Chain A
Amino acid sequence: MLTFKLAIKNLIGAGMRTWLNVLVTAISFILLVFMTGMYQGMDAHARQVTIKTEIAGGAYWHPIYDPADPFTLEDAHGVPPQPVIDLVNTGDAMPVLVAQASIYPNGRVMPVIMKGVEPRQTIVDMPTANLLEYEGESIPVLIGSGMARRAGVNVGDTFTIRWLDANRTYDADEGMVIHIFETENIKIDFGQIWIPLARVQEMLGMPGEASYVSYGQEIAALTETDGWIHRDVGYLTRDMTVLIEAKKPASYILFGILLALAAMGIFNSQVLTIFRRHREIGTLMALGMTRSRVVGLFTAEGGMNAFFAFIMSALLGGPLFYWTATSGIPLPMDYSEMGLIIAQRLIPVYPFALFVSTTVMVSIIVLVVSYIPSRRIAKMKPTEALRGKVA
């Protein structure tokens, strides 16, 4: 008990020096949590963007629809089962009709996936409503900025679209770029052209048909789907999950590097402080403190340093963590004038385990860098400790 009383007395008595050391530890703690949270947030962000702009609550696929195999697209269409149509009618789902096509921008040929989408949909975060603004004769086309750059087209430009209809004959007509959107989700951008659903159904000669139907988040899954395959978010994001899992070792390495940096900061402040206190250690031994008691005292000081650091981290880091986890960190680009609602913000993710592991790691570091140097000094004869000849 005396050890703890003395440890507190020493820490409080040392005033500024203590608070600087505590601050170093706290900053290390905050940085560890924050950086790791950012890193994990990037993965979570990518997942969120994909869900918001593409996947929504999940989808019902035509029995042979397989986005990984474009050659199946020709046959992957049909009228969705009634329960799915009911969802569409209440605005809780949106049918998408998918077909292969070619476009001829600036005299070049580019194979694309043509997607018919209901312009008034509210299921995914895409500016499809812009398609309604066009009233001319051409096919209104919505594309992503990446695709626009690749094709070398701007809003108002036209190009020929060529497709294979239900009768397996080639048709062609002129498409016009109505709107170009910015997105972080390249899967709705590159190689994709978006056209009003009714127009695509008419072009292909497939009235009322779709390749898949996406439904909104928080819409319960149907049990009766008449052969159409239910794909939930887990299935639709499985590639991404595999990718994130594959990146886990990298995230441990990052945590390790950050931890090493934090350890160096703590090491600096703590070890130097203790070595500078060699005379005090010699005095304590001369006054009759045993080695183990001296080491215990300094380790207790270290432990308390860690404890204060966690309080300081909570006070300084708490609002930071809360604010960033709720509002996100603004990224340096702003796409709002492009008509997209995707917030260009990175939301860090701070799982509880991150706090626990960081607390444990930082505590161990602080204890070790208190224990080792004080033991080293306490191992000396009191006269040597007093003189401060640290070997």
Chain B
Amino acid sequence: MENGQIVNVSNLVKHFPMGGDHFVALKGIDLTFATGEFTGLVGPSGSGKTTLLNLIGGLDSPTEGDVSVLGMQLSGSSHGARAELRRSSMGFIFQTYNLLPVYSVYENVEFPLLLNNVPADERKKLVTQAIEWVGLTDKMKSRPAALSGGEGQRTAIARAIVKEPTLVLADEPTANLDAENSHHVMKILVRLNKELSTSFIFATHDEKVMGYLRRILNLVDGKIVKDEIVENPEFKG
């Protein structure tokens, strides 16, 4: 699947009900993502970045058009099949982190592995490693409520990558990180992308993140206005 398609989006339209009317968040999007991409959706606030990521992840359903991910057509699929796909192959980094409040950092990161029945010793190794990557080893036992914004975000990143998924959807993963941490985290993601061919789709405003991207999709008002390949990213990881 080195050069195969991982995501295919065709004629994607998304309406949100608004009063008696509706708001058109995505206005017919056609896109293809290949395995191993390191791509970013950029655009002003409200342009539809999060909406598009949610549709790709099967967390929401489109008004029109279709998404297929890893060969699965989402609109024809059952709820359970989509959950299964997320569980086995996708990692999410939410703009709002969405950590499980009663779990520690360690338990939050461990959770996707529990769902995938990863054996205990391997689980421990993977969790410890992911937490180390994002530099939270000393916060392992903290609950989300006791974390700073950046620490919460790094926990969310560790949780998304711990199972080494095929596809990571990352919504503003660096919004709350300082420059140093942003670069540190991005370098880890680039490494995962290189070593495991993990595909990444970002939604971001962050110049630092853009500096790592190898493809930039410009989204304005629910439409792709520019699809550009970056031959020589500013930062190499």
Measured CB to CB, the residues of A under 8 A from B are: 2, 6, 9-10, 13-15, 279-280, 282-292, 381-384, 386
Q: Which residues of chain B are within 8 angstroms of A290 by Cβ–Cβ distance? A: 79-80, 83-84
A386 vs B100: C-alpha distance when bound (angstroms): 12
Give the chain B neighbours of A287 by CB distance below 8 A. Answer: 86-87, 92, 111-112, 115, 159
- B100 near A283 with CB under 8 A, answer yes
Q: A48 → chain B, closest Cβ, in Å?
A: 51
Q: Which of A2, A285, A291, A384 touches B114 (beta carbons < 8 Å)?
A: A2
Task: Indicate whether B107 reaches chain A with its CB closer than 8 angstroms.
Answer: yes
Q: With both chains docked as a complex, state the minimum distance between the C-beta of B104 and any C-beta of chain A, in angstroms.
A: 9
Interchain CA distance A289-B59 in the complex, whole Å: 12
The docked-state distance in angstroms from the alpha carbon of A10 to that of B83 is 21
Classify the interface of chain A: helix, strand, loop or mixed. helix
Q: Please name all residues of chain B whose beta carbon is closer than 8 Å to the beta carbon of A381 when the two chains form the complex.
A: 59-61
Q: Is B133 an interface residue (CB 8 A)?
A: no
User: Across the interface, which residues of B come within 8 angstroms of A288, CB to CB?
Assistant: 83-88, 90, 112, 115
- CB of A171 to closest CB in B, whole Å: 89
**A284: B residues at CB distance < 8 A:** 100
Q: Does B98 contact A286, Cβ atoms closer than 8 Å?
A: yes
Complex CA–CA separation, A383 to B85 (angstroms):
16
Instruction: List, in ascending order, chain B residues with CB within 8 A of A6's CB.
Output: 114
Q: Which listed residue, B83, B100, B111, touches A285 by the CB 8 Å rule?
A: B83
CA distance A279 to B101 in the complex (A): 10
Q: Are A386 and B98 in contact (CB-based, < 8 A)?
A: yes
With A2-B114, A381-B61, A383-B54 as given contacts, are A291 and B102 in contact (CB-CB < 8 Å)? no
Chain B, residue nearest A287 (CB): B112
A382 to B100, CA, bound (A): 15
In angstroms, how far is the closest chain A Cβ from the Cβ of B141?
Answer: 12
Q: How far is the CA of A382 from the CA of B57 in the complex (A)?
A: 10
- What CA separation (Å) do A288 and B96 show in the bound complex? 18
What are 7 of the A-B contact pairs (CB < 8 Å)?
A2-B117, A6-B114, A282-B98, A286-B59, A286-B92, A288-B86, A381-B59
Q: Is the CB of A291 within 8 A of B80?
A: yes
**From residue 121 to 179 of chain B, which have CB atoms closer than 8 A to chain A?**
159
How long is the Cα–Cα vector from A6 to B117 in the complex, in angstroms? 13
Q: What string of 1s and 0s marks CB contacts (under 8 Å) between B65-99 and chain A? A: 00000000000000110011111101010101011
Q: CA separation between A73 and B163, bound complex, in Å?
A: 95
Give the contacts of B47-61 with A (CB-CB under 8 A). 54, 57, 59-61
Pair A9/B84 contact, Cβ less than 8 Å: no
Q: A290-B80, A383-B60 are in contact. Are A10 and B87 (CB under 8 A)?
A: no
What is the distance, in angstroms, from A358's C-beta to the closest C-beta of chain B? 30
The verdict on A9 contacting B107 (CB below 8 Å), with A287-B92, A288-B87, A383-B54 known, is yes
Complex Cα distance A350/B87, Å?
50
Complex: A285 Cα to B102 Cα, angstroms:
17
Chain B residues lying within 8 Å of A14, measured Cβ to Cβ, are: 102
Residue of A nearest to B169 (CB): A286
Contact-size category for B: 20 to 34
What are the residues of chain A within 8 A of B85 when measuring CB–CB?
Answer: 288
Residues of B within 8 A of A291 (CB): 79-80, 83
Please report the C-alpha to C-alpha distance between residue A381 and residue B111 in the assembled complex, in whole angstroms. Answer: 21
Contact of B102 among A13, A282, A292 (CB under 8 A): A13
Kindly report which residue of chain A lies nearest to residue B79, judged by CB atoms.
A291
Give the complex CA separation of A384 and B17 in angstroms: 13
Q: Which residues of A contact B88 (CB under 8 A)?
A: 288
Supposing A288-B84, A291-B80 touch, asked if A10 and B102 sit within 8 A by C-beta, the answer is yes
Rounded to whole Å, the gap between the CB of A262 and the closest CB of chain B is: 26
Task: Identify the closest chain B residue to A384 (Cβ).
Answer: B60
B116 CB to closest chain A CB (Å) equals: 8
Say whether B59 contacts A383, CB under 8 Å.
yes
Q: Which A residues are in CB contact (< 8 Å) with B101?
A: 280
Q: Residues of B contacting A289 with CB < 8 Å?
A: 83, 87, 115
Complex contacts, B60 vs chain A, CB 8 Å:
381-384
Neighbour of B98 across the interface among A9, A279, A292, CB < 8 A:
A279
- CB contacts (< 8 Å) of B83 on chain A: these are 285, 288-291
> How distant is the Cα of A280 from the Cα of B98 in the complex, in angstroms?
7
Cα distance, A276 to B98, chains bound together (Å): 14
**Smallest Cβ-Cβ distance to B81: which chain A residue:** A290
16 additional contacts (CB under 8 A) given A2-B115, A279-B98: A9-B102, A9-B103, A10-B102, A13-B102, A284-B100, A286-B92, A286-B94, A286-B98, A288-B85, A288-B86, A288-B115, A290-B80, A382-B60, A384-B60, A386-B59, A386-B94
Cα of A284 to Cα of B94 in the assembled complex, Å: 13
Contact residues, B22-66 vs A (CB, 8 A): 54, 57, 59-61
CA distance A384 to B79 in the complex (A): 14
What 9 A-B pairs have minimum CB-CB distances, sorted nearest first? A288-B87, A13-B102, A288-B86, A382-B59, A383-B60, A283-B98, A290-B83, A290-B80, A383-B59
